[in-house]
Structure 1
């Protein structure tokens, strides 16, 4: 982004923040690499070299400029992993030269220094990424998936719902579990390992969500909190109906749909008096949106899905924003980047879910007035469905 002289002067006058860093000098590659990593892991920004922390332009010399060009080249290619590309420009401010480095938000997060430091911006400063933040960035990059993590204490022998798993296996592979174990000379724990449902005799998150006896024993926040309100305000102190929907993803899907169907209107429309009426919102659309929330939510965030029914709308709120630079406009067009590919795979085999990324697109075809909100500040994805009125 080309900055005008007036824009540069204004930014210097306003001072440092999460996207503007001032340095009188940078004299070593390591410190520059740390700044580049922090900006790349955040939203990008500018480093103004030749400006002090009191917002006064000190300037850089021609000798400084030659050294800085070498430092920038070495830091970007040799000291940041993966390498980054930056833009540099020289501008004359108050008859002094300021060396400006523009760092774009990284497309290959997370970035780290050659010394293995994962940093991000925190206001005008930088800090080490927390374990949860690093996990999310790794998941978004495709290098790591939360769904593959073993769940401590979820012992295969004790926690696996064998009847559910046996039915799944025999339906999919057309042979009994016992025949397969005998043929391959393996244990059921090893079979689950092969299917990415367990790791070293503990169920993974995927195994827990699909085939455990009680997923909330280990992950109590992975539920659907459903509330039907009298009015249109979430601060109402009274409700028509409320439920904490627990169990496997299959059970959460069924009971979420039951909650919706029992709390929404059935409209006569053009049917006769003796008809049972049609649900005010297409059941197909509701199925797609509930399924989307359960499968594509961010499981690195310990928070429930929230299902709210107001008098004028329905809200389905999922933890986490869209992954991999996906936008709401992409989603509306049917573009899909699965956050949880293993969960997606099992959902396509066990639930009424096709797994081709067109669920929200189909819901929008049925109800074009559905609104999507990718709320970065609150780290949640919200679907709002206006209700029909009699």
Structure 2
């Protein structure tokens, strides 16, 4: 079999050299177990660490025998898919391994997994018993939040916190049937207590303590339930507070800490004033709740919320659940790590009952013309979301308002994201929209069809652009520290650039000249056209402005 080989190792790719000696069968078993206990992948025998194929040892070329050996030396047995590959006249063995839905060990009892070292290269390490819970919960096979809290007693549940939770249910209009229950039944219905199968005694669960536990009980029984909130200014903390509180108290306290630093920008729509926050309240709330709800409570590390001059970073222990990553957050079916805790938060009105809170995070950012949430810093050990601080785009918000008026209803999340992706580049095709938004093709196509039908988006030769909506009677003023270029000097810079380019200038050139978005750049050129200085020529990718002769 001939095929192209990977050029470097990764979390799912491992190379083993057999030039000096054949590696031991025990080492092969440990590597196969590690791949199975991580994300699956391929083990290549006969390739150097730098990706050079040098050939597999003769004793490992019988791939049927190799598969049988691995099946008989793993617990539970693993069925691998080995194959022979020819590369540069060298024979290579590839052993393909699926990610397991349970913990795998060697027949000698060793449990291994793969991690990424500080230098970015992978290694196989022993998985210790305290890591078993984290692994099983990440693949949806164990709900840590539903377990009895170690050493907890029923009097560790705070009656005042329970009353606050009842008030939350009432004010949010969530599962109000819970309000009719007595305390013991209320706790049982929300999974706050469980009965010992042997003694029949009731014991608080991890969820019970996390939601309404006494502060001292949390510190004693769940020391991992910690949140660090920091505001950094000039590299030093202006605010630095560590919280170890039940969620009924931690959530309001985080809102209090954030409020002085989430400044409002005034937007006037006619005689109505709207406050546009630095961080959309819905997006901010969902991002914080996601961190608190889906973190790995078996890991001894805090949720870290840090605000600085650039933006807001929320980091929570535990990587994405299996099958989820930054590229498919908006398309895969949500799989909660802590099912009992998630259910309690939903029934009490804290989080989305649909489990699609991440949609709100994206839509809240896109609705003001700000960058999408950035999950690129996430690792196997932490989920990190970054919300960049930026000036809201008044023109784009105006277009959203007009689009909703034409449709007669609120735009959905896909509409917001598709329009935001188009806004960022001016003209864009479906493939580029998919890369920018991570939405699936079906949702993108449906959104584009609706937006084109509304007259919000235009299509020319498979390129989509935001329609140049006519000015309306709506008077929009956004006060901010960053003004768009509009002075005579700025106009002269545009004209100078056009003259140096044979009298031609494009919207993209103006975007790059002033580091502004497409709509603002287009409006500047349109103003010069209205003044009789420029004329417009072409459509779509051929659109340009020309100096009058």
If the length of structure 1 is used for normalisation, what is the TM-score? 0.75
CA contact (8 A) 1:318 1:380 kept: yes
Distance 1:311 1:26 in 2: 52
For structure 2, the residue ranges without an aligned partner over 5 or more in a row are: 116-120, 167-174, 392-479, 481-549
Given the alignment, which residue of 139, 150, 153 partners 1:152? 150
Compared CA separation, residues 265 and 376, structure 1 to 2 (3 A): closer
CA contact (8 A) 2:113 2:127 kept: yes
Displacement, 1:345?
A: 0.5
Does residue 211 in structure 1 map to residue 212 in structure 2? yes
Compared CA separation, residues 275 and 330, structure 1 to 2 (3 A): same
Compared CA separation, residues 367 and 333, structure 1 to 2 (3 A): farther
> Could you say which residue in structure 2 is the equivalent of 1:39?
35
Distance 1:268 1:124 in 2: 49
Higher relative contact order (CA 8 A, sep 6+): 1
Matches within 5 A, 1:84-233: 84-89=79-84, 91=86, 98=91, 100-104=93-97, 106-114=99-107, 116-121=109-114, 126-157=124-155, 159-165=156-162, 172=178, 174-177=180-183, 192-193=193-194, 202-214=203-215, 215-231=218-234
The 3-state SS of whatever aligns with 1:332 is coil
Structure whose alpha-carbon radius of gyration is higher: 2
> Could you say which residue in structure 2 is the equivalent of 1:237?
236
Distance 1:35 1:313 in 2: 40
Matches within 5 A, 1:213-362: 213-214=214-215, 215-231=218-234, 236-239=235-238, 241-270=239-268, 277-333=275-331, 335-362=333-360
For structure 1, the residue ranges without an aligned partner over 5 or more in a row are: 182-186
Displacement, 1:364?
A: 1.1
Distance 2:360 2:87 in 1: 55
Displacement, 1:209?
A: 0.1
The 3-state SS of whatever aligns with 1:151 is coil
The 3-state SS of whatever aligns with 2:151 is strand
CA contact (8 A) 1:50 1:98 kept: no
Compared CA separation, residues 22 and 352, structure 1 to 2 (3 A): same
> Could you say which residue in structure 2 is the equivalent of 1:184?
none
Compared CA separation, residues 349 and 93, structure 1 to 2 (3 A): same
Does residue 70 in structure 1 map to residue 65 in structure 2? yes
> Could you say which residue in structure 2 is the equivalent of 1:385?
387
Compared CA separation, residues 116 and 173, structure 1 to 2 (3 A): farther
Compared CA separation, residues 272 and 41, structure 1 to 2 (3 A): same
Distance 2:299 2:104 in 1: 21
Number of residue pairs matched?
A: 359
1:107-159 Cα deviation digits (max 9, x unpaired): 535322345432235789754311233222211222222213433322223x1
Compared CA separation, residues 288 and 195, structure 1 to 2 (3 A): farther
If the length of structure 2 is used for normalisation, what is the TM-score? 0.56
The 3-state SS of whatever aligns with 1:19 is strand
Distance 1:153 1:250 in 2: 22
Distance 1:366 1:331 in 2: 15
Distance 2:177 2:55 in 1: 72
Compared CA separation, residues 81 and 377, structure 1 to 2 (3 A): same
CA contact (8 A) 1:374 1:381 kept: no
1:56-114 Cα deviation digits (max 9, x unpaired): 768416xx745x522413523774525333232154877xx745132335253532234
Given the alignment, which residue of 65, 76, 83 partners 1:81? 76
CA contact (8 A) 1:266 1:276 kept: no
Please, which moves more after superposition, 274-283 or 106-115? Answer: 274-283
CA contact (8 A) 2:85 2:94 kept: no
